[in-house]
Amino acid sequence: MRKSRWLAGIAAAVSLAACAPVQSGPAQPAGDERTGQLRVWLFDEVNRAAKEKVVQEAVAEFQGKHQGVTVDVQYIQVQSRAERFKAAFSDPASAPDVAEFGNTDLAGYVSAGGLADISGEALNWEDVHDVLPAALDATKVDKKVYAIPWYIGVRALYYRTDVFTELGVKPPSTLDEIAPLARRIRAAKPDLLGISVGGKYTYGALPFVWGEGGELATSLNGKFTAAIDSPQAKAGVAKYTELLRDDICPPAQCAGNGGDASVEAFRAGKAAMTIGGDFNRRSVDASAAAGKYAVVPLPGKAPGVIAPAFGGGNLLGLLSGTKHRSLAFEFTQLLAGKQYQRKMFDAMGNLPTFSGLQRELADSVPAIKPFTDTLASGVKFVPNTPAWAKIDAQAVVPTMLQEVARGTKDVDAATKSAADAMNAAFGS
Amino acid sequence: MTAGPAARGQGRTALGYLAPALLVLGALLAYPVYQLVVISLFDYGQEQVSGGAPLEFLGAGNYEELLGSARFWEVLAQTVGFAAVCVVTTLVVGAALAVLATRVRPWARMCLFLAALGAWATPAVAGSTIWLFLFDANFGLVNHLLGLDGFSWTYGKWTAFGLVAAQVVWCSFPFVMITLYAGIRAIPGEVLEAAALDGASTWRTARSVVLPLLRPILVVVTIQSVIWDFKVFTQIYVMTGGGGIAGQNLVLNVFAYQQAFAASEYGLGAAIGVVMTVVLLAVTLFYLRALRRSGEEL
């Protein structure tokens, strides 16, 4: 008796509570107020002071032009950005008007309904047509523009000139030459890694896949299918993982490394080569390898060809709940415009996304030429779908590389299970 | 039910006294668990949370996906094994040191307690990071002392698990030690004296007098340890870089985070949470029943 009354009570309480998980309403395509506070989120950086100085300048210029407008800039941690953005999308009242984010984040944010479609404004902006096409492509989902490229990052091959001169070797001219060369250097200098790469270094491995003519995935009518188990992609994976061997970069030391750790070994003077970005240049200049290194584009399959690099970079976009649409776009236009991209290059070394500006800089700063050459020869991007964020979070590519490096699976089996994991993510 | 009006009135009064506690428990425990179960029945990702896509009721879909994946079973087995080793080692180390603490001089006991409290008070992230430094392949103190320069503890599956287990034991034995020490100290001296007068050996006293008296405390520390070690997250996440080379050191909690929460698959993540809760409840109930069957009132 009493028990059944209890159960009835519980059942009543349960049916009173909502029977479905909470959902916040879609952010209202808000207003277009011309005064008030514009809220901006930018990424925090190790050398934030330099970034902050340029941004402050832009804020002052913007506030000078617009009476009654203040700009509040917050610096958010890169590591926890996913949580911050998810929270902002779920609660539009706490969201900023303008935000910086990585171009690999874009597709996920768009499908979450968090970003405003700015195709109209963006394509009417004259300067946008000078933006590198690959950089602009990374701002689009289903042909709609959701952001403006702020800067771009590509990786190339760093090598130690002193070691190369001493051993009388030349930088590799094809992908195939990298492993034998690295092996030879390590044999001659056993305390050096032949080339410092890592099992978690997805963006270091992708040029090998692309250079061999492989793809991560192919898309047909917006539906993605994994292609990492195609013969070309497998050749690329095999070529990259060949570097994760005891006679080049021992897996016990390298299999757990991502990009930062890979470059760190080069900085510490413990590697003869590495794959590093233009954004690593300054830190290498302040390391044990300073003055003893040079950079060349990562070679492709044939001599004279550059392996397609991953076109990473950061974007500035408008959140869909912004109440200051015009102001927000104008501020984005200012900060991502040629003048401030140039200032950001001077302050931070961030590569501009305008091709004219890149050419100009390559003439005056020869050190960035390998990177601009890589950009000019064409960069590639990860599949532009929200599923990629999931594949990234589930560490599908690092797991594949590490399985081969550890020897727990061969290339065929590892790429097969990676393809299965990707297809599962694409399908859901 | 034959309760008279007086008994019913008493029941009502009792309920009145219990109501605040029940309310707090309901709000802090029952409601979240209920939400967890509800979410686990839906396709609930970031799109759905922020209202960009409609909710889709999957029923048991998330559970089917989970239970049908070989990877899940592998990780579950790994988690159970890892937790079992950690629990047993923690109990043995904690109990041994508790006994030691009752036998040594006050200053030695004080040192032991201070060291244990230090380990206990260290935040898990800090503790894990410090252990990583100590066991670093090239610059670590341990490799330097052992002459193992260049040996990576986190590369091999079993050395990585062993290292993490050692860290888990290090930060959870103090609870066991201090609780058991208090328990041993609470055993009346007369009882031990009586046993001694009856001519019982030390071993016999420990087995027939001390252990039975400590039983309720042992039950509590065992269940606590099982729950802690089954749910370990920080140590694995920090020390093996998010689950080890190719995910070889994944345990359920980290697996749930990686596969579901970081990937914004909250429905699937909730399903993993529900499965973990059920497993823990089952283990605890099984343990309690086994004890009761052996004739112990708790």
ipTM: 0.79
A255 contact residues in B (CB cutoff 8 A): 155, 245
Residues 103-132 of chain A with CB under 8 A from chain B are: 108, 111-114
Q: Give yes or no for a contact between B235 and B164, defined as CB atoms under 8 angstroms apart.
A: yes
Nearest CA to CA, how far is A410 from chain B (Å)? 13
Question: By the CB < 8 Å criterion, does B40 face chain A?
Answer: no
Within 10 angstroms of residue A410's Cβ, the number of other Cβ atoms is 14
The answer to whether B245 contacts A199, with C-beta atoms less than 8 Å apart, is yes
Question: In A78-147, which ranges are E strands?
Answer: 98-102, 140-141, 144-145
Q: Which residue of B has its CA nearest to A82?
A: B262
CA distance A165 to A171: 10
Q: In this structure, is residue A391 part of a structural domain? A: yes
How many CB atoms within 10 Å of residue A202?
A: 21
Which residues in chain A are closer than 8 Å to B154, comparing Cβ atoms?
256
Q: Which of B48, B151, B258 sits opposite A393 (nearest CB)?
A: B258
Using an 8 Å Cβ cutoff, are A243 and A182 in contact?
A: yes
Which residues in chain B touch residue A107, judged by CB atoms under 8 angstroms apart? none
Which distant-in-sequence residues (6+ apart) come within 8 Å of A368 by Cβ?
A: A278, A281, A351, A361, A362
As a whole number, mean pLDDT of residues A223-247 equals: 96
Q: Distance between CA atoms of B29 and B41, rounded to whole angstroms? A: 19
The reply to whether A130 and A57 lie within a common domain is yes
The pLDDT value given to residue B4: 60
Please give the Cα distance from A21 to A43 (Å, whole number).
31
Candidates B1, B42, B46, B265, partner chain A, best to mutate (most A CBs within 10 A): B46
CA dist A240 and A296 (Å) reads: 18
Q: Which two tokens stand for residue B215?
A: 């039983």
pLDDT value of position A27: 55
Q: What is the tens place of the pLDDT at every residue in A174-210?
A: 999 999 999 999 999 999 999 999 999 999 999 999 9
Among the partner-chain residues B51, B152, B247, the one whose CB lies closest to the CB of A23 is B51
For chain A, what percent of residues have pLDDT higher than 70? Answer: 94
| Residue range B70-293, CATH number | 1.10.3720.10
Residue of B nearest to A21 (CA): B39
- Same domain? For A100 and A194 the reply is no
| CA–CA separation, A19 and A24 (whole Å) | 15
Tell whether A81 is covered by a domain: yes
Task: Read off the tokens for A21.
Answer: 């998980």
User: Please, are residues A98 and A318 in contact by the beta-carbon 8 Å criterion?
Assistant: yes
pLDDT for position A20: 74
pLDDT in tens, A92-113: 788 999 999 999 889 888 888 8
pLDDT of residue B126: 94
Q: Are residues A138 and A164 in the same domain?
A: no
With bands split at pLDDT 50, 70 and 90, how would you rate the model's confidence at A12?
Answer: very low
* pLDDT higher than threshold 90 for residue B264: no
Give the start-end residues of each E strand in A233-338. Answer: 273-277, 293-296, 309-310, 312-318
- One domain, residues A179 and A318: no
Contact assignment for B49 to A199 by CB distance below 8 Å: no
Let me know if residue A14 belongs to a domain. no
* Rounded Cα–Cα distance for residues A185 and A192 (Å): 8
Q: What gap in Å lies between CA B120 and CA B127, rounded to an integer?
A: 10
Candidates A412, A398, A115; CA nearest to A256 is: A398
B51/A26 Cβ within 8 A? yes
A342-394 pLDDT per residue, tens: 999 988 888 999 989 998 998 988 999 999 999 989 899 998 888 888 898 88
- Determine, yes or no, domain membership for A27: no
Task: Check B242 against A405: CB less than 8 A apart.
Answer: no
Q: Residue A355, class by beta-carbon neighbours within 10 Å (0-12 exposed, 13-18 middle, 19+ buried)?
A: middle
Within a 13 Å sphere around the CA of B42, how many CA atoms are in the beta-carbon half?
22
Domain for residue A332, yes or no?
yes
Q: Give the residue-averaged pLDDT of A282-289.
A: 90
A 384-423 residues with CB below 8 A of B?
A: 386, 389-390, 393-395, 398-399, 402-403, 405-406, 408
Under the phi-then-psi rule, with left for phi > 0, alpha for psi from -120 to 50, and beta for the rest, what region is B264? left
CATH number, domain with residue A358: 3.40.190.10
The label of the residue with tokens 């501009």 reads A352
Six token digits for residue A267:
């900085």
A19 to B47: CB separation less than 8 angstroms, yes or no:
no
Residue A182 Cα to chain centre, angstroms: 27
Task: Give yes or no for A253 touching B (CB within 8 A).
Answer: yes
A428 — pLDDT class (breaks 50, 70, 90): low
Domain identity same for A165 and A252: yes
Q: What is the pLDDT of residue A30?
A: 62
A211 in the same domain as A338: no
Residue B21 touches chain A, beta carbons under 8 Å? no
Structure tokens given for A99: 């935000």
What pLDDT score was predicted for residue A16?
44
List the 189-208 stretch of A: residues with Cβ below 8 A of B: 199-200
Q: Are residues A265 and A412 in the same domain?
A: yes
Reported as a pLDDT band with limits 50, 70 and 90, residue B160 is: very high
Smallest Cα distance from A90 to chain B, Å: 5
Of B31, B47, B243, the CB nearest to A113: B47
Q: Which residues of chain B are within 8 Å of residue A82 when distances are taken between CB atoms? A: 262
Both A281 and A297 in a single domain? yes
Domain that holds residue A278: 155-310+381-427
Q: Do A333 and A286 share a domain, yes or no?
A: no
Q: Is the model more confident about A15 or about B92? A: B92
Asked if A82's CB is within 8 angstroms of B262's CB, the reply is: yes
Does the reported pTM lie above 0.80?
A: yes
Residue A378 CB: number of other CB atoms within 10 A?
14
Which chain A residues touch B248 with a CB distance below 8 Å? 406, 408
Give contacts of B238 with chain A, Cβ < 8 Å.
none
**Based on the domain organization, do A80 and A44 belong to the same domain?**
yes
Region class of A313: left (phi > 0), else alpha (psi between -120 and 50), else beta? left
Q: Is the CB of A252 less than 8 angstroms away from the CB of B137? A: yes
Does B155 contact A256 at a Cβ distance shorter than 8 Å? yes
Q: Are strands A273-277 and A293-296 parallel, antiparallel or unpaired?
A: unpaired
Question: Any idea what DSSP says for residue B244?
Answer: S
* Alpha-carbon dihedral sign for residues A135, A138, A141, A146: negative
A127/A185 same-domain check: no
Amino acid at position B214, single letter:
L
How many structural domains is chain A composed of?
A: 2
- Note whether A239 and A181 are within 8 A (CB): no
Q: How far is A26 from chain B (nearest CA, A)?
A: 5
**Tell me, what amino acid is at A350?**
N
What pLDDT does residue B1 have? 47
Give the residue-averaged pLDDT of B17-32. 90
Angle of helix A231-241 versus helix A411-427 axis, rounded to 10: 120
Joined tokens for residue A301: 């399959």
Mind telling me how many Å the CA of B267 is from chain A's nearest CA? 10
Q: How far is B170 from chain A (nearest CA, A)?
A: 25
Reported as type and span, the H/E element at residue B206 is none
Q: Which chain A positions have a beta carbon within 8 Å of B247's beta carbon?
A: 395, 399
* Chain A CA closest to residue B65: A424
Q: What average pLDDT does the structure give for chain B?
A: 88
